[in-house]
Chain A
Amino acid sequence: MSRTPLDTVEHAAETPDVELPWAELGLKKDEYERIVEILGRRPTGAELAMYSVMWSEHCSYKSSKVHLRQFGEKAPQSDALLVGIGENAGVVDVGQGYAVTFKVESHNHPSYVEPYQGAATGVGGIVRDIIAMGARPVAVVDPLRFGAADHPDTKRVLPGVVAGIGGYGNCLGLPNIGGEVVFDSCYQGNPLVNAGCIGVMRHEDIHLAKASGAGNKVILYGARTGGDGIGGASILASETFDDAKPSKRPAVQVGDPFQEKLLIECTLEAFQEKLVVGIQDLGAAGLSCATSELASNGSGGMRVTLDDVPLRDSTLSPEEILMSESQERMCAVVEPDKVDRFLEICAKWDVIATVIGEVTDGDRLEIYWHGGKIVDVDPRTVAHEGPTYERPYARPEWQDALQADDAGKLPRPETSEELRDQVLKLVSSPNQASKSWITSQYDHLVQGNTVLAEPEDSGMIRIDDETGLGVAIATDGNGRYAKLDPYTGAQLALAEAYRNVATTGAKPLAVSDCLNFGSPEDPAVMWQFAEAIRGLADACRQLGTPVTGGNVSLYNQTGEAAIHPTPVVAVLGVIDDVARRTPVAFQEEGQLLYLLGDTREEFGGSAWSQVVHDHLGGLPPVVDLERERLLAEILISASRDGMIDSAHDLSDGGLIQAVVESALLGGKGARLVVPDGLDAFTLLFSESAGRAVVAVPRSEEVRFNDMCGARGLPVTRIGVVDGDTVELQGEFELTLAELREAHEGTIPALLA
């Protein structure tokens, strides 16, 4: 096969005038000029490939990093944080010598193009981030957002995404213990498929991605490299679908979960035997990312022979090999005398492993192909010193009008009959309805350590059989709130996830976030983004929960229409003994129902305003982080001391949504009374933050009230667990059968 002469470094230096397709690869003119300036010559094709993927929005965070810095600058002091932001995933001390690593990432665009494989490889990617830290993955969570529930395309996207998540996770033997499913027409062409994973390790087993020590070998192991997802990284994240030419459609990758399972076992065994100096998973930007990040995080340079990369398709060009996003691959740096043992372990697990290069004592990343040097760069310029944009941002002019359109002025139900109808309408609406049709397609019990899973407030996993030590995770985000006020909306997402973790009895420790927004080139979107980060960073500082890592997904828009700003926040918590957890379901008749916190007339962005009036306007609920912290302390103490038998946080849908869920899950009804100072409508539908409803055994009534009183948390008795109806005295009564049909019938009717 005759080819044009290999575009080596020498060749590039001799032919400065050769035109390269930098624009097609997603680079801007000034970015290309900067590359030329860095290199002092034109880049080779392979170098251009590397820079283009690594400088894409997806890999370089070029629009977001000026704002993301706040997570570091405002980070609260936390003894729990063992590894902070910037690594593959953050690591948190959960006590008893255990450390937990967790992270949430997005796989939005690929999941729209090919729902099954897009979602499946999203799970695969986040799991590899966790094993790269040296941790054994123990659970996954999946916050999902789709277009309108009754839109035909939702019926294409949702079942594929759900099957992909379930299929991949199932093959790996990882329980799916949480997440969310939200429908809103703003996500019609841009579903959000976020995936999170939790991993557990001992403190001494933490591993960081770096390549130090000249002479150490670079080993690529896992699947062979094929032509899938070439340029995916740059193209996925740098253009909206509208302007993507057919030829630039992201080539989707197909995952192989069984290969990933082998990677997990093989990697952890190599860690166990202390064979690994540094490690990096291959995700977006494939080998370009792994080699440049490993080298730039280490002390020295790196030399790689691309001819040694095992290929699935022998016709691949070196540029394609560097850009390929073939799944289930990892890259390890191993001392020379340990290479044989490393390869032996890989062989035992039937994993292909190949030495492709070594660490050098220079500071250059050099890549060879057919004997010629095709890459000679400072790896830091590829991996860490990409462009940074201070994108202009401005509060959109429609924001005032949106906030002035107060949801409090919407017509409220006037009769008991109307109130009852609206309750039924709310609990059966797609967003408030039971998602068990979806979550029951996931295996949430595999491995036998699941303590709580959907639809509980947070997922909980036992990590030590002897002591009962466990961790809890909750993910939350409310795009409607964030649209009304991105600063407060982001804080509400954190507050809700924090509250959810505490509601199950676990102490919130740390945060990971997945920030889903529209195009950063739109100043209004950029303002939403900047505000959301400012809000989240401020709130993390106040709650003492540092952000340990996460991911930014921009360009979630079709044409002019961006999605609602959707910061999804995951909070990780620890519980000393999972036997003390608090479930959502009512446990016993006769127990007293207490509402914790203050209820105000807050309906902006509420589920009620959406379901009954199809309205979005006004201001989201007020956030009081000190109150959230106090509420969390009370919930944790009450759980530890056995004062409450069930608890449910109040968020979208308000009190009635929480009570109906607890009643249906427990198979026991509730009699409610409207307390003094509130009206029935506000009691049922207000979405004031910082609240939870708890069921207290009569024997604990005095002790519980005393504790709340002593700590200054408002507590209001609102009823009792009783019978087989949910009744609001003097207003209406709904049987559990009626509620169950409404709450559980919606999703199957739309999607099954």
Chain B
Amino acid sequence: MARVVVDVMLKPEILDPQGQAVQRALPRLGFEGVSDVRQGKRFELEVDGPVDDAALARIHELAESFLANTVIEDFTVKVEEEMVEAGK
């Protein structure tokens, strides 16, 4: 078992109205000094079996075709933790 994290962010040139709304709210709440906020999505996938190249390729494919809208979003895939199978 392993956790693979897919982070999805709007491409840098794409407008992010949600991030903007957060950024505008910050000074109102007394948090100064933040000039820009961009908001994304984080997916945590619990993967059965070893995360080998084939598994990563599959996750890459699912991220590209389903989790992210690659017309307007970029994504990154990273393996977060290897859980020792014998542990439980």
Contacts and interface: CB of A to CB of B under 8 A. Distances in A.
B86 interface: no
B79 interface: no
B1 to A, nearest CB: 33
A312 B11 CA distance: 13
Contact of A258 (B12, B14, B17, B72): B17
Interface string B14-40: 111100100000000000000000000
A252 B72 contact: yes
Interface string A234-265: 00000000000000000111111011000000
Contacts of B14: 226, 228, 252-254
Nearest to A110: B71
A52 interface: no
A113 B71 contact: yes
Contacts of B16: 254
A312 B20 CA distance: 10
Nearest to B14: A254
B10 interface: yes
Nearest to A249: B71
A228 B11 CA distance: 10
Contact of B17 (A113, A252, A254): A254
A63 interface: no
A259 to B, nearest CB: 7
A114 interface: yes
B71 A326 contact: no
B17 A114 contact: no
Given A114-B72, A254-B72, A326 B17 contact: no
A256 B13 contact: no
Chain A contact patch, size range = 20 to 34
B13 A226 contact: yes
For B13, B14, B17, the residue with the greatest tally of chain A CB atoms inside 10 Å of its CB is B13
Contacts of A431: none
Contacts of A254: 10, 14-17, 72
A153 to B, nearest CB: 14
Contacts of B69: 114
A227 B20 CA distance: 16
Contacts of A228: 13-15
A313 interface: yes
Contacts, number: 38
Nearest to B15: A254
B15 A226 contact: yes
A256 B72 contact: no
Contacts of A313: 12-13
Interface in B20-69: 20, 69
Nearest to B11: A251
Interface string A94-136: 0000000000000000000110010000000000000000000
A258 B20 CA distance: 12
Nearest to B69: A114
B12 A114 contact: no
A327 interface: yes
Contacts of B12: 227, 313
B72 A312 contact: no
Interface string A171-200: 000000000000000000000000000000
Contacts of B20: 256
Contacts of B15: 223, 226, 228, 253-256, 312, 326-327
A252 B10 contact: no
Contacts of B10: 254
B17 A256 contact: yes
Contacts of A226: 13-15
Nearest to A315: B12
A259 B71 CA distance: 23
Contacts of A117: 72
Contacts of A312: 15
Interface string A210-232: 00000000000001001110100
A436 B72 CA distance: 30
A226 B17 CA distance: 12
Nearest to B10: A254
Contacts of A227: 12-13
Contacts of A255: 15
Nearest to B36: A312
Contacts of B17: 254, 256, 258-259
A424 B71 CA distance: 41
A227 B15 CA distance: 9
Q: Which 9 A-B pairs have the closest CB atoms?
A: A227-B13, A256-B17, A114-B71, A254-B15, A254-B14, A228-B13, A252-B71, A252-B72, A113-B71
5 contacts: A114-B71, A253-B15, A254-B17, A254-B72, A259-B17
Given A226-B14, A252-B14, 14 more contacts: A227-B12, A228-B13, A228-B14, A228-B15, A230-B13, A251-B13, A252-B72, A254-B15, A254-B17, A258-B17, A259-B17, A312-B15, A313-B12, A326-B15
